[in-house]
Structure 1
Amino acid sequence: MILRGTRQKASDEPDSGPQRALIIASFVNRVGNGLFNTASVLYFTLVVHLPATQVGAGLTIAGLCGLAAGLPAGNLADRYGPRAIWLTSLVVQAATMAAFVLIDSWLAFTLLATVDRLAATAGNAAGGAVIARAGGERPAAFRARLRTFVNLGVVVGTLGAAFAVQINTRPAYTALILANAASFACAGLVALLGVPNYRPLARPQEHRQWSVLTDRPFVTFVALYSAMGLQYQVVSLLLPIWLSSHTDAPRWTVAAVYAINSGVCVLLQSRLGSKVETPRQGGRAFRLAGLMFLVSCPLMALTADVPVWVAPVLAVLAVCVHSVGEVWESSGGFALGFGLAPDHAQGQYQGLFGIGFDAGQALAPLILTGAVLALGQPGWLLLGVFFAGLGLAGPPVAAWAERSRPGKPDAEAPDAEAPARALPAAASETPAR
């Protein structure tokens, strides 16, 4: 008991070795992502001279193919240890990213993008299992803290990319792509040196490679989270189009809402996320998120009906409300995603979690632009109601899932403030991640 308590205390410390290494690796990697994502479309269209429609088609094909890697990679992580699979994915992504500077055709672009997405999906599954092990008794709280630095890394990378975009030359864009490739390599090196090589946990006899697919409460939660994930592209896709085509707001408003969304998430993710650890708390966080979106979506719609000087103020207010909802939504997702997964099958469960989220993001542009934008202001109102309905489903889904977990308290038990899930003493780690 003394030894286990010592291990728990160490794992909960924000500056513990594996957690610190994960934070550094993730920050470096996301700086590179911010550099690349800001300018990637410009590079492929202006430098490689691919039509925008071909770029969109290639990315769609790559995204859909990438979904296939989630569960197999998760099973490999559970069987052989998550760090090896995660590091392999980082190496593959570093190589494919560097190869983007050599492409000169749509076929080469699509093939490389597909390999990149397969590696990314595999890395997300294995990386989720690594985070669960490094988080110790409180994986959801650690994931919230990690996301703060992830958001900060994207902001730093995006600001850095602005210089290359302003220069607008092939060498400038090439430098961004190679910097992103280097970020994968650096992240892998940090993880190799600082994250333990966690051994696979013993699996019960009833364990099956695809057992997550028979876990109906978890599958329901993944569907719920994937649908709620549309909210991410409300700020990154839907609102910018709305502001530019349906309002008189100045063009700088689009940049402002990006910055404010990232800033609010950076400031509040750890503070609010640390309060959401158990699955039941995750369900309540989902409900809060839905209510926030119910307020923010109508506010965004109203920007079309106000004077030009009011539109930016209203857009900023709406994004602030929406961003708080995003923090609650992501915190609830961490608590349920980690808290409902068996310790020995974190890779498999995180694999399905990633597949669901990525599928939702792939469908988001079609839904948001083809349905919500086409309906105008009524579409915004329906979107807010949709999010609120998903949020209301959070608590009962969480209670159902808790009742189905072996050894979990039933839904009527008092809400414990204890950690969502405890790693068994046998799960003590060898150096890894």
Structure 2
Amino acid sequence: MIGKSAVRRMSGLPAPSDPQRALIAASFVNRVGNGLFNTASVLYFTLVVHLPATQVGAGLTVAGLVGLLAGIPAGNLADRYGPRRVWLTALTVQAVTMAAFVLIDDWIVFTLLATLDRLAATAAGAAGGALVARAGGERPAAFMAKLRTFVNLGVVLGTLGAAFALAADTRAAYTALIIANAASFACAGLLALVGVPDYRPLPRPEEHHRWAVLSDRPYVSFVALYGAMGLQYQTVSLLLPIWLSAHSDAPRWTVAAVYAVNSGVCVLLQSRIGSRVETPRQGGRAFRIAGLLFLVSCPLMALTADVPAWIAPALAVLAVVVHSLGEVWESSGGYALGFGLAPDHAQGQYQGFFGVGFNAGQALAPVVLTTAVLGLGHTGWLLLGGFFAALGAAGPPVAAWAERTRRPGQDPAPATPGRPAAAPLPDNA
């Protein structure tokens, strides 16, 4: 697969196929709906449903943790019955659960619906990853980078649309956002049903089993690395806004500015950089670049507390530009490793585990960032930058280790007597 990818790359990036266009359109519509809902969801549950903020947080935590359980089983279903079927089923469940949010009036029902939604979302992520692998052909990582560009754009547009509901601040406005998000799941499903082929399962070798990914130690190590590096997402979305508000003299609009800059850099550069990071080895190097960029951005964010109010916004924007470049390199490296190290016949299982690792990291991020970094102040920011740099430095050796265990057409396995591991691939593969 890697060798063919190199040949295809020399001839230039081909135009997207019809399945790719359909998958991009479906994902874009879905994420517009997500942007509409996610922006105002907490306000709806607290101000309209009148649930205490602590109960909302507890319910979402329970839902997030339970939702992780669907990753590998849903991926196995996608590998066995085809990824489109599982993806469409998950989208249908999400459309129904989302619409049901307009009817809730107590914490138990809220938590049950949120849990169903998270289970379906995790399943959609596993099946969607397998779908990207099939639709992406020989270049799934490049296609995923292009897809993420449109996904980010969809979230931005949805967030802007939610501003009107927030300005109205009425039950009807919030309800409209929820129904629109439910409709986005349905529309995404229809687009996929019409435009994305029902890819049939690929033949599986005899040694394949439902939990094979858990015995693939290099891939497990990569997922742990990616999940830990994923703390960088909430560094911009959670940690920096709190820091700017509590420790700097920056005007309040600075928070909105850094969000816009982060989204803009990712939309503009994700596809361009992602098309250059396709093999596992390139993915490992991308991780190293990302770690170095985070090592620069974190101290810059910390310095916003030490400059005058008129300099703080510019410094925050500069820090976020550097950090966003790191985010693009980090996500591109994750796609190259996530798809490139997974056996073709088990992409669903592997992408399901990939999603579990990432979501687990996101669940822990608020506690780690607010406790360790905010608690230590400037020292915490320096340690965070060093932590990211260390994770990035681990990228190339983990990628090289993983490549040495890959055996074409078979599940990865460590070398055993009479059964040698695969030879490492050349640098130009």
TM-score per shorter chain, which class? Answer: over 0.9
User: Is 1:414 the equivalent of 2:423?
Assistant: no
Q: 2:30 aligned with 1:29, yes or no?
A: yes
Q: Once the 2 structures are TM-superposed, how far is the Cα of residue 193 of structure 1 from its aligned partner?
A: 0.2
Partner residue in 1 for 2:116: 115
Distance in 2 between residues matched to 1:262 and 1:14, nearest whole Å: 25
Superposed CA deviations along residues 93-125 of structure 1, whole A, max 9, x for unmatched, are 000000000000011110000000000000100
- Could you tell me which residue of structure 2 aligns to residue 103 of structure 1? 104
CA deviation string 1:63-116 (max 9, x = no partner): 000000001000011011111000000000000000000000011110000000
Structure 2 unaligned blocks of 5 or more: 409-420
- C-alpha contact (below 8 Å) 2:404/2:425 kept by paired residues: no
Alignment of 1:223-372 (within 5 A): 223-372=224-373
Q: CA deviation at 1:371?
A: 1.1
Q: What is the CA–CA distance in structure 2 between the aligned matches of 1:118 and 1:327, rounded to whole Å?
A: 27
Deviations 1:241-282 (A, max 9, x none): 000011010000000000100000000001100000000000
Structure 2 letter corresponding to 1:80: Y
Q: Is the 8 A contact 2:46 2:53 kept in 1?
A: yes
> In structure 2, the residue corresponding to 1:231 is in which secondary structure?
helix
Q: How does 1:130-279 map to 2 (within 5 A)?
A: 130-279=131-280
Moved segments of 4+, more than 2 Å? 8-15, 407-416
User: In structure 2, what is the equivalent of residue 427 of structure 1?
Assistant: none
Q: Is the 8 A contact 1:155 1:262 kept in 2?
A: yes
Letter in 2 for 1:265: C
Cα offsets for 1:177-196 (capped at 9, x unmatched): 10000000000000000000
RMSD between superposed Cα atoms in Å: 1.6
* 3-state DSSP of counterpart to 1:331: helix
Q: TM-score normalized by structure 2?
A: 0.94
Structure 1: gaps spanning 5 or more residues: 417-433
What does 1:387-406 align with in structure 2 at a 5 Å threshold?
387-406=388-407
Alpha carbons of structure 1 residues 150 and 11: separation in structure 2 relative to 1, 3 Å: farther
State the alpha-carbon separation in 1 of the partners of residues 123 and 73 from structure 2: 8
Structure 1 contact 12–137 (Cα < 8 Å) conserved:
no
Render the CA deviation track for 1:195-247: whole Å, top value 9, x for unaligned: 00000000000101101100000000000000000000000000000000110
Matching residue's letter, 2:177: L
Partners of 1:243 and 1:175 in 2: CA distance:
32
Distance in 2 (alpha carbons) for counterparts of 1:16 and 1:122:
25
CA distance in 1, matches of 2:38, 2:171: 16
Q: Which whole-Å CA distance do the structure 1 matches of 2:349 and 2:286 have between them?
A: 24
Kindly tell me: are residues 185 and 12 of structure 1, through their superposed partners in 2, closer, same or farther at Cα, counting changes over 3 Å?
farther
* In 2: Cα distance, 1:138 partner to 1:25 partner: 20
Q: Deviations over 1:299-342 (max 9, x none)?
A: 00000000000000000000000000000000000000000000
Q: Per the alignment, in what secondary structure is the counterpart of residue 190 of structure 2?
A: helix
Q: 1:292 to 1:253 in 2, by over 3 A?
A: same
- In the alignment, the residues of structure 2 paired with residue 173 and residue 92 of structure 1 have an alpha-carbon distance, to the nearest angstrom, of 21
1:409, CA displacement in angstroms? 7.3
1:320-379: CA deviations, max 9, x gaps? 000000000000000000000000000000010000000000000000011111111100
Residue 193 and residue 412 in structure 1: after superposition, are their counterparts in 2 closer, same or farther (change >3 A)?
closer
Measured after TM superposition, the shift of residue 156 of structure 1 is 0.3
1:395-429: CA deviation from partner (whole Å, max 9, x where unpaired): 0000000000014974472322xxxxxxxxxxxxx
Amino acid at match of 1:231: Q
| Structure 1 SS opposite 2:427 | coil
> How far apart, CA to CA, are the structure 1 residues paired with 2:122 and 2:365?
18
CA–CA separation in structure 2 for the residues paired with 1:329 and 1:410? 27
Equivalenced residue count is 411
- Identity, % of aligned pairs? 79
Distance 1:375 1:177 in 2: 39
Match of 1:403, as an amino acid?
A: R
**Aligned letter for 2:192?**
A
Tell me the secondary structure at the aligned position of residue 124 of structure 2: helix
Partner of 2:411: none
Q: Which amino acid aligns with 2:386?
A: V
Contact 1:297 1:383 in 2 (8 A): yes
- Contact map agreement 1:12 1:138 (CA 8 A) in 2: no
Match of 1:59? Answer: 60
Q: Is the 8 A contact 2:405 2:422 kept in 1?
A: no
Pairs within 5 Å for 1:81-92? 81-92=82-93
Distance, in Å, in 1 between the alignment partners of 2:371 and 2:121 is 28
What CA distance in whole angstroms lies between the structure 2 residues aligned with 1:148 and 1:322? Answer: 17
If the length of structure 1 is used for normalisation, what is the TM-score? 0.93
